[in-house]
């Protein structure tokens, strides 16, 4: 249904102004950014297509469809967005800019306050950066003596084991940033955030290596789309 055919109080922009952004569904918020649809496809339908799960073309093998929700969309590039019919260069640029602003806002919040005053902010920040990746990534948040964020670095990719994550490299990066502490993080593309025995062993190996240079391991966070787990909260760090 075209937006103009909706009751005034049900149109996304008017609904946001009257009731606040929390009252809107993800597709409605996206529709405000997109502003217009195309012939035969209203803006709400276009927004919903962006949020639908991705599919794979059986003939070409190329990815089609949407991005699997807001988390997936946060990692979409301007080139990725080209597969959605109706998204011209201007709309693609606007979406990428807004998503980048969201990531930078969270990073700024972490830099301006002690990270563990708000563990949820750390989890959300890591989800923005890691949760939607289709491959496993090991990353480290480097923190100063006040537990403020110095940097986030993705250090290793692929199946993460004690042999594929090199403690020496993590120690060198910690010394480079003059970090006083770190938060380890990796994603589980499978969707489960339960730590494996390998995750536990890797955490202890890195904790011992970093202790040699007086860098504390505060947590190891496992993220997946829509969820995150703190190994410290489970007593595993």
CA atoms within 13 A on the CB side of 208: 7
pLDDT value for 5: 64
In-domain check, residue 207: yes
The predicted structure's pLDDT at residue 104: 84
Examine residue 209 and state whether it is found in any structural domain, yes or no.
yes
Residue 111 domain-assigned?
A: no
CA distance 112 to 110: 6
pLDDT of residue 162: 53
- Same domain (yes/no): 95, 149: no
Judge if 82 and 132 occupy the same domain: no
Based on the fold, state whether residues 130 and 77 are members of the same structural domain: no
Own/partner contacts of 47-54, CB < 8 Å, gap of 24 or more, are: 49/84, 50/84, 51/26, 51/27
Q: Are residues 124 and 225 in the same domain?
A: yes
Q: Are residue 182 and residue 210 in the same domain, yes or no?
A: yes
Count how many domains the chain has.
2
Low-confidence stretches of the chain (pLDDT < 70) are 1-9, 113-117, 159-163
Q: What is the pLDDT of residue 206?
A: 96
- Residues 6 or more apart whose CB falls under 8 angstroms from that of 147 comprise 114, 115, 116, 181, 218
- Token couple for 89: 């260069």
Domain hosting 19: range is 8-102
Q: What pLDDT score was predicted for residue 76?
A: 80
| Contacts (Cβ under 8 Å, ≥6 apart) of 214 | 180
Instruction: Provide the whole-model pTM.
Output: 0.66
pLDDT of residue 207: 96
For residue range 105-134, list pLDDT tens digits in order. 877 877 776 666 677 778 888 888 887 777
**Same domain (yes/no): 94, 131:** no
- What pLDDT sits at residue 38? 80
Residues 43 and 132 in one domain: no
């Amino acid at each position: 249904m075209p937006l103009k055919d909706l009751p005034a109080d049900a149109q996304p922009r008017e609904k946001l102004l009257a009731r606040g952004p929390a009252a809107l569904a993800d597709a409605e918020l996206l529709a405000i950014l997109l502003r217009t649809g195309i012939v035969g496809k209203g803006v709400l339908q276009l927004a919903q297509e962006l949020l639908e799960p991705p599919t794979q073309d059986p003939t070409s093998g190329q990815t089609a469809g949407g991005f699997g929700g807001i988390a997936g969309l946060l990692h979409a590039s301007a080139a990725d967005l080209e597969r959605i019919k109706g998204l011209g260069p201007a709309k693609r640029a606007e979406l990428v800019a807004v998503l980048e602003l969201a990531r930078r806002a969270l990073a700024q919040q972490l830099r301006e306050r002690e990270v563990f005053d708000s563990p949820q902010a750390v989890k959300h920040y890591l989800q923005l950066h890691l949760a939607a990746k289709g491959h496993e990534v090991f990353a480290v948040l480097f923190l100063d003596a006040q537990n403020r964020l110095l940097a986030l670095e993705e250090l290793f990719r692929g199946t993460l084991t004690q042999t594929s994550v090199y403690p020496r490299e993590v120690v060198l990066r910690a010394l480079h940033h003059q970090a006083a502490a770190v938060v380890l993080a990796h994603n589980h593309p499978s969707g489960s955030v339960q730590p494996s025995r390998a995750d536990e062993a890797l955490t202890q190996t890195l904790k011992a290596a970093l202790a040699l240079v007086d860098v504390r391991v505060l947590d190891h966070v496992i993220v997946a789309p829509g969820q995150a787990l703190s190994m410290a909260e489970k007593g595993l760090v």
